[in-house]
Amino acid sequence: MFLIGFSHSYSQSDKLNQFWNEYAFTADLSQNWVLELDAGLSSSSIPDNPNMFHNITQVYFRAWAHYYPAQRWKLSIFYAYFGNRNVPELSQENTPELRSAVQVTYSLFTQKSFKVNLRGRFEDRHLKNESSNFEAVERFRFQVKAVYPLNFLKVNKIPIYSFASDEVFFKTKSAVSGPDFFDRNRFTVGLGISLNNDIQIEPSYAREVMPRETSDQLVNAFQLNFIFNNFFSNLTKSFKRTKTSVDDGSSGI
């Protein structure tokens, strides 16, 4: 599916440059439960201006609950508000969105030097249309992600790791988000820097292909994420959960 979308994007496409930024705060409640709060924003270029910071297109806030039933499994749910303002793939400006999701992550292959995770997510999206009604759109996402430590790049004993992922999106028909069943393919590659046990920084590059009947959309995005583990530790000092193999460092937009 990625190869089909990738080759199709060169027939006729609108190319955009974007910047994605996210801040994630986690708190370990027990060995099995973790809470997370995310906040992020996106900016984008326009056809007449290639500057990725030309205007703010999206701001969001998201609350997660993660449950670890076994070492290789992670079950997650979230509820989020997305303030969509002139998002390129939507049919109108100023489209607020209420989104909830169920997500399952499975660690397919784990070693100290290499990890591969599979992630499936079902999203229930409610997008405000031109009649000021919230239109329901269901979307399914599937991702394969690999993480590999770069021990030779350690600076002052700071761990550095690389990661790469590919994700496909499928959605139901909607007047706001369009009639296409195959929504997009997103390929991401990047680095992670663990400043200490509680703070990680992940700069990355994402290439997103959205096949459309009239004109395909191609997005080149620079992404900068910050992860603060146990940021609210003063509220949950009694227990600190042992990290498992499905901790992949980010939740994704």
The 10s digit of each residue's pLDDT in 21-36 is 999 999 999 999 999 9
User: Is 109 inside any structural domain?
Assistant: yes
Q: What is the mean pLDDT of the chain?
A: 85
Question: Is the CA virtual torsion 78, 225, 186, 184 positive or negative?
Answer: positive
Burial class (CB in 10 A: 0-12, 13-18, 19+), 152: exposed
User: Is 253 inside any structural domain?
Assistant: no
pLDDT digits (tens, 9 = 90+) for 58-67: 999 999 999 9
pLDDT digits (tens, 9 = 90+) for 70-85: 989 999 999 999 998 8
Separation of alpha carbons 171 and 123, rounded Å: 9
H/E run at residue 3? helix 2-8
pLDDT of residue 178: 76
State the total domains in the chain.
1
User: Is 249 inside any structural domain?
Assistant: no
pLDDT of residue 174: 78
Examine the pLDDT at 235 and tell me if it is beyond 60: no
Joined together, the tokens standing for residue 194 give 């663990």
Examine the pLDDT at 241 and tell me if it is beyond 80: no
pLDDT digits (tens, 9 = 90+) for 99-135: 999 999 999 877 777 899 999 999 999 988 777 778 8
Examine the pLDDT at 151 and tell me if it is beyond 80: no
Question: Is the CA virtual torsion 48, 49, 53, 55 positive or negative?
Answer: negative
Segments forming the whole domain that contains residue 182: 2-228
User: Is 234 inside any structural domain?
Assistant: no
User: Is 239 inside any structural domain?
Assistant: no
Global pTM exceeds 0.85: no
* C-alpha of 242 from chain center: 24
User: Is 53 inside any structural domain?
Assistant: yes
pLDDT of residue 3: 44
Joined together, the tokens standing for residue 161 give 């790791």
Percent of residues in the chain assigned helix, strand, coil, to nearest 5: 5, 65, 35
State the CATH number of the domain containing residue 102: 2.40.128.130
pLDDT band with cut points at 50, 70 and 90 for residue 240:
low
